[in-house]
Amino acid sequence: MQLMLVTLFPEMLSALTQSGVTGRACELGLVQIGAVNPRDFAFNKHKSVDDRPYGGGPGMVMAIEPLRLAIAEARKRAPNASVVYMSPQGQPLTQTRVKDLASNEALIFVAGRYEGIDERLIAAEVDEEISIGDYVLSGGELPAMVVMDAVCRWVPGVLGHDQSAEQDSFVNGLLDCEHYTRPEIHDGQSVPEVLLSGNHERIRKWRLQRSLVRTLERRPDLLEQRVLTQEEKTLLGEYLSQQQTD
């Protein structure tokens, strides 16, 4: 899969290309990550990449022409790509949207700086406008890299078998259960007995129950969007009636 970022700060991409799961995916050639810099397409005498907003007021808008040419270059390098613009006005990012994006052979992300980009450029060039959450960052690079990271994880071969199974836990709409490692007692706190039992069926049920409980306590909105199986209702019911007796 090919992932392109149109950005004034291409060096930021090294966080993805040089470390961890995504770094490995690049090394193995499973994903190709590249950047196009609108600065390289700024041909006026000041090489400017920003411009004044119509209507006045503080702040600047990205200059149209360098950005348009940079997107054209990205399209040339990544034919058939969908173009994604990161902004707080976009559709919220979810694991479902990530999985959909991962079905593209190539994606071009446009990272805005300043107050954003001209609305007509969005209309002409952008297929999807996406937000990573309701807060304001200094640019679209980190949001684009968040999406790139999440998308990489769906490319076949990027995750090992065990990690792929693990990511199903969020796809299945629940929060993850707790995790423990050595030693058996840390800071006076022991590991839940069931995890030392070696009984895989009891462990599976306990983990599913913890996922359900944590989702109910921390993110009830996620449970409202999801239908529970009979087993899930039973596990949650058992926990809740146990709570009442405590």
* Token pair 């926990």 in the structure block, residue: 239
Give the residue with the Cβ less far from ligand 4GX, 42 or 130.
130
Question: Which residues have a Cβ under 8 Å from the Cβ of 148 and sit 6 or more positions away?
Answer: 3, 5, 16, 22, 33, 107, 109
Would you say how long the chain is, in residues?
A: 246
Distance, in Å, from the CA atom of 103 to the CA atom of 110, rounded to the nearest integer, reads 19
Specify the residue, 115 or 184, whose C-beta has the smaller distance to ligand 4GX: 115
Catalytic pick from 10, 88, 97, 207? 88
218 is catalytic: no
CA dist 189 → 3, 193, 207 (Å):
45, 12, 19
168 included as an active-site residue: yes
Query: Based on CB atoms, which residue is closest to ligand 4GX, 73 or 141?
Result: 141
* 53 annotated active-site: no
C-beta of 129 vs 232, nearer to ligand 4GX: 129
- CA gap 191, 186 in Å, rounded: 8
- Min dist CB 84 to ligand 4GX, Å, is 10
Residue with tokens 């999406």: 147
- The identity of residue 113, as a single letter, is R
According to DSSP, residue 45 is labeled: T
If the CB atoms of residues 6 and 86 are measured against ligand 4GX, the closer one turns out to be 86
Residues that bind ligand 4GX (CB under 6 A): 86-88, 112, 115-116, 131-133, 135-137, 139-140, 143
- Residues 70, 126: Cα–Cα separation, whole Å: 13
Name the residue whose CB lies closest to ligand 4GX. 116
How far apart, in whole angstroms, are the C-alpha atoms of residue 149 and residue 67? 24
CB of 148 to ligand 4GX, least distance (A): 13
CB 143, CB 132: distance < 8 Å: yes
CB of 125 to ligand 4GX, least distance (A): 14
Q: How far is the CB of 6 from ligand 4GX (least distance, A)?
A: 12
Question: Distance (Å, rounded) from C-alpha 34 to C-alpha 88?
Answer: 24
Phi and psi of 159, rounded to 5°? -100, 150
Instruction: With beta carbons less than 8 A apart as the criterion, state whether 179 and 202 touch.
Output: no
Q: Which member of 66, 143, 153, 210 is catalytic?
A: 153
Does residue 192 carry a catalytic annotation?
Answer: no
CB of 207 to ligand 4GX, least distance (A): 32
CB of 86 to ligand 4GX, least distance (A): 4
> Which residue in the list 119, 162, 168, 246 is annotated as catalytic?
168
For ligand 4GX, the closer of residues 20 and 133 by Cβ is 133
Just list the catalytic residues: 88, 115, 153, 168
